[in-house]
Amino acid sequence: MGSDQDRRAMLAILLSLAIYLLWSSLYGPPPPEPPPAEALVEGAGQTAPAEAAAEEPAPAAASPEEAPPVAETVPEREEAVAGEGWRGVVHSANGAVRDLVMTDYTQSPEVTPLTSWLIGKVTGGSGGPWEPYVGGDEPERILTGEGALVIAGGGAFDDDGAGRPGDPSVYRVERAGQAVRATRRRPDGLVIDKRYTPGEQPHTATVEVRFRNTGASSVDGLWIGVADVMTGKAGRFMKSPRPVVFADGDVEHVLKTEKLAGEGREEFAGPVEWFGMGNRYFMAALVPLDGPASGAVVDALPSGRTGVFIRDPRPLAPGEERVLRFLAWLGPKDLKLLKPLGHSLDKSVEFGIFGFFSKPLLLLLRLLHGLVGSWGLAIVLLTVLVKVVFFPLTQKAFVSSRKMQAIQPQLQELKERYKDNRELQTQETMKLMQENGVNPMGGCLPTLIQLPVWFALYSTMLYSVELYGRSFLYLRDLTAADPYAVLPLLYIGLMLLQQRMMPMTGMDPAQARIFKLMPLFFGFIMFGFPSGLVLYFCVNMLLTIIQQWFIRRQYPAEPTAA
Predicted confidence (pLDDT) per residue in 314-363, tens digit: 999 999 999 999 999 999 999 999 999 999 999 999 888 877 888 888 99
User: Quick one: pLDDT at residue 509?
Assistant: 64
Indicate the average pLDDT of the chain.
77
Helices within 101-206 (DSSP H only): 114-123
Please compute the mean of the pLDDT values over residues 378-392 and round it to a whole number.
87
- Residue 265 CB coordination number (10 Å): 24
d(CA 476, CA 485): 14
In the predicted structure, residue 264 carries a pLDDT above the cut 70: yes
Question: Contact 195/178 with Cβ under 8 angstroms?
Answer: no
d(CA 392, CA 389): 8
User: Quick one: pLDDT at residue 198?
Assistant: 95
- Residue 30 CB coordination number (10 Å): 6
Please compute the mean of the pLDDT values over residues 118-132 and round it to a whole number.
76
b/e burial code for range 62-91 (CB count within 10 A of at least 16 → b): eebeebbeeeeebeebebebebebbbbbbb
The radius of gyration of the chain from alpha carbons, rounded to an integer in Å, stands at 30
d(CA 243, CA 314): 25
Question: Contact 274/225 with Cβ under 8 angstroms?
Answer: no
d(CA 410, CA 496): 29
Confidence of residue 61 (pLDDT cuts 50, 70, 90): very low
Of 58-72, 165-179, 250-264, 370-384, minimum mean pLDDT range = 58-72
- Could you say which DSSP state residue 301 is in? -
Confidence of residue 30 (pLDDT cuts 50, 70, 90): very low
d(CA 562, CA 547): 29
pTM of the model: 0.75
Please compute the mean of the pLDDT values over residues 121-147 and round it to a whole number.
82
User: Quick one: pLDDT at residue 70?
Assistant: 41
Phi then psi for residue 40, to 5 deg, are: -75, -50
d(CA 142, CA 244): 13
Better pLDDT: 163 or 214: 214
What residue type is assigned to position 307 of the chain? G
**CA end-to-end distance (rounded Å), the chain:** 20
Confidence of residue 127 (pLDDT cuts 50, 70, 90): low
d(CA 465, CA 374): 15
Of 21-35, 98-112, 286-300, 442-456, minimum mean pLDDT range = 21-35
- Residue 331 CB coordination number (10 Å): 29
User: Quick one: pLDDT at residue 38?
Assistant: 34
Half-sphere exposure for 200 (CA within 13 Å, toward CB): 2
- Provide the phi-psi class of 406: left if phi over 0, else alpha when psi is between -120 and 50, else beta: alpha
Q: Which residues contact 509 (CB under 8 A, 6 or more apart)?
A: none
Q: What is the DSSP string of 53-116?
A: SS-PPP-----TTSPPPTT------EEEEEETTEEEEEETBTTEEEEEEEEEEEPPPEE--HHH
Question: Contact 147/99 with Cβ under 8 angstroms?
Answer: yes
User: Quick one: pLDDT at residue 166?
Assistant: 46
In the predicted structure, residue 248 carries a pLDDT above the cut 70: yes
**Nearest Cα residue to 393 out of 536, 502, 549, 544:** 544
b/e burial code for range 519-529 (CB count within 10 A of at least 16 → b): bebbbebbbeb
Domains defined for the chain, CATH in brackets? 4-25+354-554 (no CATH), 48-105+141-341 (2.70.98.90)
User: Quick one: pLDDT at residue 283?
Assistant: 94
b/e burial code for range 367-402 (CB count within 10 A of at least 16 → b): ebbeeeebbbebbbbbbeebbeebeeebeebbbbbb
- Could you say which DSSP state residue 561 is in? P
User: Quick one: pLDDT at residue 442?
Assistant: 54
- Provide the phi-psi class of 175: left if phi over 0, else alpha when psi is between -120 and 50, else beta: beta
For the chain, the 3-state helix, strand and coil shares in percent, each to the nearest 5, are: 35, 25, 40
